[in-house]
Structure 1
Amino acid sequence: MKTIKGPGLFLAQFAGAEPPFDSFGAITAWAADCGYLGVQVPSGAAQLMDLDRAAASRGYCDELAGQARDHGVQITELSAHVQGQLVAVHPAYDAMFDGFAPEAVRGNPAARRDWAVDQVRKTIDASANLGLDRMAAFSGALAWPYVYPWPQRPEGLVEAAFDELAARWRPILDHADSRGVDICFEIHPGEDLHDGASFEMFLDRVDQHPRARMLYDPSHYLLQQMDYLQNLDIYAERIGMVHIKDAEFNPTGQQGVYGGYQPWAQRAGRFRSLGDGQVDFRAIFSKLAVMGFDGWAVVEWECALKHPEDGAREGAAFVRDHIIRVTDRAFDDFADGGADMDANRRMLGLAR
């Protein structure tokens, strides 16, 4: 068993153009003031870090880490969610995802993908320079438009998509292996790796690559109506990162899992700030402690109702209250009478 580290905060939903969210120093000081001990940093947020410098310079990474420590937090991981998404984009989403890429590669899917792969590789290098052994990413998606089989999917369509997805990620995973960094794919609707079955399809095609791991976020499982507690039991050895995010699912006679194209606040399934949804976090934290999870409990704020700064402050306290400081002794040690093998055999009636 292990005591989970935390609370940490994913900065992607907070980084912006206004203080204190417009610089690494200011946002880390703000996070510490909210009660966080760590921050997960999106590597594409230029106002927070220079990815090119971080990938090339350990000295620059030492400066970043030192700045975080000066403000009372540490860098828990880097995230390349956006760049990972662009490693594999179905043409139906080209126009929407172009907005995530630099203007120079928009309208050119091949150039956009090359840029994204380079970004993920640099995030791996920056992670290594920071002394981190894991990073976060999305997988991207080629088969997602066909997730619901109507009309019937042509035979081999999904298999071809996963073959290509694996071919794109295998060299990146090998580079991650050379730098001692795990890539933790967030299991997420909209990605081809959106549940356990699809993750296993990917693992089979990358030969069970040891650097391919999971980012576990129970909110996405609840909204898919998956058993998010059993998922922890099944994938304990593959889960490398955890996002602590709440959600609720209240189906009606008008809508269910798919949401009827409604905005988030009107959906049957929606993300909520921690403690306002339906996720059983006491059970989750218990399972994480027992399975020896050695990472951080990182809050990802996404809520259709509550102000983000309120959600962040409440989230730090929520995680702090749920982390289990594991015991170093058995509760009944006081009744230990001591024994040896001969005594054990006598108790079993086996002594000669």
Structure 2
Amino acid sequence: MKTIKGPAVFLAQFAGDEAPFNSLDGMCKWASDLGYKGIQIPTWDANLIDIDKAAESQTYCDELKGKVNSYGLEITELSTHLQGQLVAVNPAYDTMFDGFAPDAVKNNPKARTEWAIQTVKNAGTASGKLGLNAHATFSGALLWHTVYPWPQRPNGLVEMGFEELAKRWLPILNHFDAHGVDVCYEIHPGEDLHDGVSFERFLEATGNHKRCNILYDPSHYVLQHLDYLSFIDIYHERIKAFHVKDAEFNPTGKQGVYGGYSDWKDRAGRFRSLGDGQVDFKSIFSKLTKYDCDVWAVMEWECCIKSSEQGAREGAPFIQKHIIEAVGRSFDDFAGGETDDAYLKKILGI
């Protein structure tokens, strides 16, 4: 069994315009000082990485990696959550998702999709140059507006939606395969890959592509009432990345899963800082270790109550406390030894 690596932190929710959060050096020192050993880098933040340059230049990647290492940190994964989202956008969401796109492709869905596909490919090339073996992203969504079937979904809609989604992602998956990197989709409401069944639909549509894998984040399963521990039993061979994020679900007589359009702090389902929610991390870390999942434990902080500063301070020791040093030998090895057929027959009376 392998020991889960960590603690690490996803920089996206902390990056900003003020020091130390507006530069890679600043964020590396900040993360290192808090006890983190790894960082997941959002590729849409030009203050942290120039993803196009990283795809072109091994020298740039070597310098970037060296800078991170100089703070006692490692790069866990690059993230293209925002660009991956734009690989597949239903027209109902064009206006809002244009906010994730550069000005040159706004109000032009075809150009935006092409840009997104190329940018995610660039992240695959950069990941290879950085010596990474996993990448974090979203799948995007063509079908999400039909997730609750009213009006009724016409026959064939779901099949066609996943065929088109796979058609857009297959060139990306093949590109990542050429660079030895797994594409890890965060299974997330709002994406067409939002639970196990939808992931399986997509996986089948890609021909069970070996680079089609999962970023496991239990917080999104709590809010769906999905059994997040059984999910590991079922999909552990595909889990290649791990977000450590907490959540709680407290339904009332007024609201449940859908939340009544309430603000986050007033919803029945809320993301919380680590240890403040309902996620059973002790069991999660045990299962991931049992199944030999070679992943980084990366904190993703999203909480509508606790400050990001406190969440960041508490995150590293929380993760460290849950990391299990994988056993090197069986506890009952003293009873072992070489196989002796005569001895075994004597015990069995044969």
1:300-315 to 2 correspondence within 5 Å?
300-315=300-315
1:265-344 to 2 correspondence within 5 Å?
265-334=265-334, 340-344=340-344
1:108-119 to 2 correspondence within 5 Å?
108-119=108-119
- TM-score w.r.t. the length of structure 1 is 0.98
Task: Output the CA distance in 1 between the equivalents of 2:343 and 2:98.
Answer: 73
Task: Output the CA distance in 1 between the equivalents of 2:54 and 2:191.
Answer: 27
Partner of 1:124: 124
Amino acid of the residue matched to residue 54 of structure 2? A
Partner of 1:208: 208
**How far is 1:331 from its partner?**
2.2
**How far is 1:262 from its partner?**
0.3
Task: Output the CA distance in 1 between the equivalents of 2:88 and 2:102.
Answer: 16
Answer yes or no: is 1:70 the counterpart of 2:51: no
Partner of 2:42: 42
Q: Deviations over 1:67-124 (max 9, x none)?
A: 1111111111101000000000011111100011111111111111111111100000
1:1-352 to 2 correspondence within 5 Å?
1-334=1-334, 340-350=340-350
Is 1:213–1:238's contact at 8 Å kept on the other side of the alignment? yes
Amino acid of the residue matched to residue 105 of structure 1? V
SS for the counterpart of 2:319 is: helix
Task: Output the CA distance in 2 between the equivalents of 1:62 and 1:341.
Answer: 56
**How far is 1:334 from its partner?**
4.1
**How far is 1:55 from its partner?**
0.5
Query: Which is worse superposed, 247-256 or 341-350?
Result: 341-350
- TM-score w.r.t. the length of structure 2 is 0.98
Structure 1: segments with no counterpart, 5+ residues: none
| Paired residues, number | 350
**How far is 1:336 from its partner?**
5.0
**How far is 1:2 from its partner?**
1.2
**How far is 1:126 from its partner?**
0.5
Question: CA distance change for structure 1 residues 270 and 333 in 2, over 3 Å: closer, same or farther?
Answer: same
**How far is 1:333 from its partner?**
3.2
**How far is 1:49 from its partner?**
0.7
SS for the counterpart of 2:289 is: helix
Task: Output the CA distance in 2 between the equivalents of 1:124 and 1:333.
Answer: 43
Task: Output the CA distance in 2 between the equivalents of 1:203 and 1:326.
Answer: 30
Task: Output the CA distance in 2 between the equivalents of 1:256 and 1:10.
Answer: 29
Amino acid of the residue matched to residue 280 of structure 1? D
SS for the counterpart of 1:253 is: coil
Task: Output the CA distance in 1 between the equivalents of 2:161 and 2:335.
Answer: 59
Q: Give me the CA root mean square deviation.
A: 1.1
Task: Output the CA distance in 2 between the equivalents of 1:62 and 1:295.
Answer: 22
Q: Deviations over 1:208-228 (max 9, x none)?
A: 000000000000001000000
Amino acid of the residue matched to residue 94 of structure 1? D
**How far is 1:335 from its partner?**
5.0
Amino acid of the residue matched to residue 160 of structure 1? M
Question: CA distance change for structure 1 residues 343 and 299 in 2, over 3 Å: closer, same or farther?
Answer: same
Amino acid of the residue matched to residue 6 of structure 2? G
Identity score, percent:
62
Task: Output the CA distance in 2 between the equivalents of 1:170 and 1:61.
Answer: 26
Is 1:25–1:67's contact at 8 Å kept on the other side of the alignment? yes
Structure 2: segments with no counterpart, 5+ residues: none
Task: Output the CA distance in 1 between the equivalents of 2:220 and 2:15.
Answer: 23
SS for the counterpart of 2:254 is: coil
**How far is 1:339 from its partner?**
6.0
**How far is 1:338 from its partner?**
7.0
